[in-house]
DNA sequence: CTGAATCCAACCCGATACTG
DNA sequence: CAGTATCGGGTTGGATTCAG
């Protein structure tokens, strides 16, 4: 099942935001994404690379440096992402209320 | 963690589409959503009801009849949903190509 | 610094059978 | 008709440890 692109998982959307303004190193991503383990971060990044959303560039230095950067295709994801954020901003409160009322009735 | 609304799961978006043009019965949903088991369909519907996306109305008849209908809040989900569909229509092919090229390199 | 390896818990989803 | 009960597999994400 190739589609759709996994932006609904736990970290992809946040990685997108972190890469919005330019390339970032692995350790630079771990800072804003607090509590993401390296294993999971790597998995997410590899999946995004496989889908053409980001590029992974290894600089042969010591100590090692690896940079991740959004592709043009990756940047296009901000459009649907913005729509989802706008929905949350506009209706998130209503959902919270619905959940509380539902909890009351039970 | 109350947010965000689970529209990224397997069935919620499809249920939304099925309810778009009016209320539907449980068995009417099972037809277009082929291969959804009653257990999973029930789980999805209950979650959507809890979040205020749909209403569940039981008619005390024989045989029993239950109708699900989108709330005004539920209808607002079509906006971000449409943005995601538009992205897929526009860039889905590019993702498929990226995956094939990636598979080649491995 | 940038991961890889291993193990494990939780969750999501499905198959099957059964009920008011 | 509209579910519930039970069981189990597959995937996801996290903790921990180790390596180049």
Whether A4 is covered by a domain: the verdict is no
Rg, Å, chain B Cα set: 17
Task: Answer yes or no: do B76 and A91 touch at CB < 8 A.
Answer: yes
| B49 near A CB under 8 A | yes
Query: What per-residue confidence (pLDDT) applies to B1?
Result: 40
For range B84-100, the mean pLDDT: 96
Whether A25 is covered by a domain: the verdict is yes
Domain that holds residue A26: 12-75
Separation between the CA of B94 and the C1’ of D17 (whole angstroms): 39
Whether B104 is covered by a domain: the verdict is no
Mutate to test the interface with B, among A91, A93, A102, A106 (most CBs of B within 10 A): A91
Whether B32 is covered by a domain: the verdict is yes
pLDDT, tens digit, for every residue of A46-78? Answer: 999 999 999 999 999 989 999 999 999 999 999
Whether A64 is covered by a domain: the verdict is yes
Whether B98 is covered by a domain: the verdict is no
Q: In this structure, how many other beta carbons lie within 10 angstroms of the beta carbon of residue B29?
A: 19
For range A20-29, the mean pLDDT: 98
CB under 8 A, 24+ apart: contacts of A84-88: A84/B4, A84/B80, A84/B83, A84/B84, A86/B79, A86/B80, A87/B76, A87/B77, A87/B79, A87/B80, A88/B3, A88/B4
Length of chain A: 106
What percent of chain B clears pLDDT 90, i.e. is strictly above it? 89
Overall domain count for chain B: 1
For range A77-95, the mean pLDDT: 96
Beta strands A65-70 and A24-25 are antiparallel
The residue of chain A with its CA nearest to that of B93 is A3
Query: What per-residue confidence (pLDDT) applies to B4?
Result: 61
Helix (H, G, I), strand (E, B) or coil at B20: coil
Query: What per-residue confidence (pLDDT) applies to A88?
Result: 95
What's chain B's average pLDDT? 94
CB under 8 A, 24+ apart: contacts of A93-98: A94/B52, A94/B73, A95/B2, A95/B3, A95/B5, A95/B51, A95/B52, A95/B73, A96/B2, A96/B3, A97/B52, A98/B50, A98/B51, A98/B52, A98/B73
Least confident of A3-7, A89-93, B81-85, B99-103: A3-7
Kindly report the CATH number assigned to the domain that includes residue B42. 1.10.10.10
For range A16-39, the mean pLDDT: 97
Whether A37 is covered by a domain: the verdict is yes
Whether A98 is covered by a domain: the verdict is no
Token reading at B38: 């009653």
């Amino acid at each position: 099942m190739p589609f759709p692109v996994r932006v609904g998982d736990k970290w992809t959307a946040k990685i997108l935001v972190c890469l919005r303004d330019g390339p970032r190193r692995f350790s630079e991503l771990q800072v804003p994404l607090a509590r993401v383990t390296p294993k999971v971060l790597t998995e997410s990044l590899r999946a995004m690379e496989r889908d053409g959303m980001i590029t992974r560039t290894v600089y042969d230095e010591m100590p090692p440096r690896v940079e991740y950067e959004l592709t043009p295709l990756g940047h296009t994801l901000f459009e649907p992402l913005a729509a989802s954020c706008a929905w949350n901003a506009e209706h998130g409160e209503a959902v919270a209320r619905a959940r509380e009322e539902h909890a009351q009735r039970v």
